[in-house]
Amino acid sequence: MMPACPEQIGSYFVFAIAGGLPGHAFGDIASRTTIETLKATVKDTAGSAIDVLSTAIWNAGAEIRGLSQTSR
């Protein structure tokens, strides 16, 4: 089952679904980490919807990059 992320930024709702690429190692971990990071950032970041989403996406990418460095 793919993790899902229904969260709210002000009066906007954010829905995200993350699925790993078939055949790639640790795709399930990357998907779960992405959703967890998106949820945490949306809850903890103030600003416009575009600023919050931009920050959330950047943070999720940074988390995945960090995980990829530690799993080598």
Torsion angles phi and psi, residue 67, rounded to 5: -65, -40
pLDDT of residue 71: 64
Q: What number is the average pLDDT over the span 38-63?
A: 90
Residue with tokens 């998106």: 38
Whole-number pLDDT of residue 2: 52
Between these two residues, 66 and 17, which has the higher pLDDT value?
A: 66
Of the candidates 57, 69, 58, 2, the one whose C-alpha atom is nearest the C-alpha of residue 29 is 2
- 8-46 pLDDT, tens digit each: 666 777 888 887 666 777 788 888 898 889 889 988 888
pTM more than 0.95:
no
The confidence score (pLDDT) of residue 21 equals 67
